[in-house]
Structure 1
């Protein structure tokens, strides 16, 4: 229940918003079926099984859902995840004392909501997989990418190549050995190796034949088929377009509370959130340097020193892209803690306040906010190095500011009105490999 001070503040915001053109003209149009990829039911059902099946990993112990589970907003509840060498699910996932991870996953596991919308042409925090003028741009050259269905299926092909995510640690299985040698396509390559494992399971072979006619006529299962099916499942399963905000856009005035309407007026008005969090899913799909704390292993090449993550700069080489990361979409943001490319903030309200004043927030960051399972690694090298912190600060292009508590309350109410956690096929009881997986 709102106290008297907050009720007065919200009422004032509502009255102001009713007179503002932001209230009507600058809200996004309602989402429709035409905004999304078209997928087939058989491909979606096949993709569901593959998404939850550890058969795609080097040690048959990690699935896509390990780091992107519906229970945790299609993320994992950790600041930086543990793939290979971890046991358990979500925030309860810990390092396996019998097989300690070599590293944490360098970046926070992003949510998967609405990735099947046509407007998603960039993937990952740095956009290193993107569609430009109808052509895919990827960080490695391989003919494989000409065989996938699009940018979402391309994204789905990369986690299996990461030793820290799904591939396995150095030389502990055939897949990790192929990855170490840079062998991805062709005989002995990582993708063909996984496709062979899947094809050896009769139930999968039958489902692929039923889904892709050319396989029924004798073409072997390729990893592109696996990626395409997983992408179809993600596009269908995690389509989120029936939140109270969506209902309001479709004409239901009662779908939003007065406080959420006040937050919406702020978001699309004087608070300026929509300058970056624009469009149907509250993202401009662009990259901005917002001074997020950097910890963990960073995103560097093998021969480089340090634990920096310079974001979009590593893709473009442009100085203006230093420490810039993609604007995250905000659908179901209330479910996807922690927040930021390193998951630096466990609490959404704390993140919003820090986001308003990024320079001050970086300098006063409380490291207890990070959700990091115990691991004998150095996590804070960058934050303990004055020059690195100064470099992150210098990249910030927005001034610090603050909003009164009642306006933060209203923004939080609006963010809660973006929640629509879809539950379509859900988690399967079993997968064709028969392997156990986290439910």
Structure 2
């Protein structure tokens, strides 16, 4: 069913406020005196040659969250358990489905019931390696990402005490939390630690190593001739290496590469409500709230004008399974992505970012031939190995309110 186009107006504002329980008002003009351009010192840092691609090493493990098999198993249960959320319907796996690249195969991710998310869901695969999580880098670890997602208004919408109370009513969880963390009852911060422990085992290493890493380690048969030609384009004419580099295949920095707005905001009323709510939630200025027509990206974090429309460089490993692409899911195939870059950050309709003043100069027409585009596509496929599959575990049940013996005794007493 098609949703009729609605106007982004004060009506949407009011609905968003009521629906999401948002009592906030738009923030005051932030950093009004901030310069319009990136500081020269930061621009100078960008002039050095990018790191070469490198094979993925071992995932870093934080000293305050050591991995144990019991903790990983507990985290696996919690990852798939929707009771870690607001109304026991939306858990981690709701937006990070194993069958969909451990992400969500639509432009916008799923949202809490009655909402829709406003950005594309990123895969949890290899997330242990990244110093910045989410498209705008708002979380610095898996633990903070899990907490933010489970409690976010358009994602999990969970409350700490409610989630803890639910888990405390489940004997299996009480047993496991005591074994792993030594507590009599599940503590919410330990929930994030357990989920993160599980996520840190979900990597493209070992049996899931990608062909590119095998090649970089010395197995020259791991790539085809076409892929080797594509790698030369990646490192040279196509310029992909400028941002997709090093071990992580990302510089973990933020760039405006010209991605146009998602048209869904023009025709999906629920998406519009979410969009306006997020403007409030992220401290948008009053003027920005009234006029925004696209995602302002890293600006919500920095409040610097030169960061409008910038997003964290997405990693490339496992991309064969994580379509659609970009922060708003506007491209559903890697062929579309290559064409977008080849045109210089412009889609097939001639659309580009609404913030041309911050668009990186790294993005420019490439002049790739059809054969070169095929070679580059073949190389991008080398960033993905076997699909990481997993059956969803059976969720432990709540404790019964009465045992059968207690029920029998009550009936006999009557």
TM band (smaller chain)? 0.7 to 0.9
Q: CA deviation at 1:427?
A: 2.5
Q: Is the 8 A contact 1:300 1:308 kept in 2?
A: no
Question: Matches of 1:362 and 1:196 in 2, distance apart?
Answer: 51
Query: CA 1:362/1:341 → structure 2, altered by over 3 Å: closer, same or farther?
Result: farther
Structure 1 residues 157-166 or 317-326, which shifts more? 157-166
1:65-104 alignment, distance < 5 Å:
65-85=93-113, 101=114, 103-104=115-116
1:271-286 alignment, distance < 5 Å:
271-286=238-253
- Does residue 126 (structure 1) correspond to residue 136 (structure 2)? The answer is yes
Question: Matches of 1:29 and 1:164 in 2, distance apart?
Answer: 36
* Structure 1 unmatched runs, 5+: 1-24, 86-100, 131-150, 168-174, 176-189, 366-388, 435-439
Equivalent residue, structure 2, for 1:225: 190
Equivalent residue for 1:257, pick from 219, 224, 229? 224
Equivalent residue, structure 2, for 1:206: 175
- Does residue 64 (structure 1) correspond to residue 92 (structure 2)? The answer is yes
Question: Matches of 1:346 and 1:29 in 2, distance apart?
Answer: 27
Q: CA deviation at 1:390?
A: 7.0
Q: CA deviation at 1:34?
A: 6.2
Query: CA 1:80/1:310 → structure 2, altered by over 3 Å: closer, same or farther?
Result: same
Equivalent residue, structure 2, for 1:416: 381
Equivalent residue, structure 1, for 2:355: 392
- Does residue 237 (structure 1) correspond to residue 202 (structure 2)? The answer is yes
Q: TM-score, normalised by structure 2?
A: 0.73
Question: Matches of 1:332 and 1:34 in 2, distance apart?
Answer: 16
* Structure 2 unmatched runs, 5+: 1-49, 266-271, 399-414
Equivalent residue, structure 1, for 2:371: 406
Query: CA 1:266/1:359 → structure 2, altered by over 3 Å: closer, same or farther?
Result: closer
Question: Matches of 2:198 and 2:154 in 1, distance apart?
Answer: 24
Where 1:56 maps in the other structure, the secondary structure is coil
Question: Matches of 1:155 and 1:196 in 2, distance apart?
Answer: 22
Q: Is the 8 A contact 1:260 1:410 kept in 2?
A: yes
Equivalent residue, structure 2, for 1:330: 316
Equivalent residue, structure 1, for 2:408: none
Aligned length: 323
Question: Matches of 2:249 and 2:394 in 1, distance apart?
Answer: 35
Q: CA deviation at 1:271?
A: 1.8
Equivalent residue, structure 2, for 1:45: 73
Q: Is the 8 A contact 2:260 2:353 kept in 1?
A: no
Where 2:155 maps in the other structure, the secondary structure is helix
Q: CA deviation at 1:191?
A: 1.7
Query: CA 1:233/1:252 → structure 2, altered by over 3 Å: closer, same or farther?
Result: same
Equivalent residue, structure 2, for 1:316: 302
Q: Is the 8 A contact 2:61 2:67 kept in 1?
A: no
Equivalent residue for 1:340, pick from 326, 335, 339? 326
Cα RMSD of the aligned pairs, angstroms, is: 2.3
Q: Is the 8 A contact 1:359 1:393 kept in 2?
A: no
Q: Is the 8 A contact 1:353 1:402 kept in 2?
A: no
Question: Matches of 2:353 and 2:238 in 1, distance apart?
Answer: 27
Where 2:201 maps in the other structure, the secondary structure is helix
Equivalent residue, structure 1, for 2:165: 196
Q: Is the 8 A contact 2:51 2:245 kept in 1?
A: no
- Does residue 108 (structure 1) correspond to residue 120 (structure 2)? The answer is yes
Equivalent residue for 1:30, pick from 31, 55, 59? 55
Equivalent residue, structure 1, for 2:154: 164
Q: Is the 8 A contact 1:53 1:433 kept in 2?
A: no
Where 1:267 maps in the other structure, the secondary structure is helix
Q: CA deviation at 1:328?
A: 0.1
Q: TM-score, normalised by structure 1?
A: 0.69
Q: Is the 8 A contact 1:192 1:222 kept in 2?
A: no
Question: Matches of 2:253 and 2:232 in 1, distance apart?
Answer: 23
Query: CA 1:397/1:324 → structure 2, altered by over 3 Å: closer, same or farther?
Result: same
Equivalent residue, structure 2, for 1:427: 391
Question: Matches of 2:143 and 2:59 in 1, distance apart?
Answer: 19
Question: Matches of 1:283 and 1:31 in 2, distance apart?
Answer: 12
Equivalent residue for 1:300, pick from 247, 255, 279? 279
Query: CA 1:26/1:109 → structure 2, altered by over 3 Å: closer, same or farther?
Result: closer
Query: CA 1:362/1:294 → structure 2, altered by over 3 Å: closer, same or farther?
Result: farther
Equivalent residue, structure 2, for 1:155: 145
Q: Is the 8 A contact 1:84 1:163 kept in 2?
A: yes
Question: Matches of 2:105 and 2:56 in 1, distance apart?
Answer: 28
Structure number with larger C-alpha Rg: 2
Q: CA deviation at 1:314?
A: 1.0
Q: Is the 8 A contact 2:75 2:191 kept in 1?
A: yes
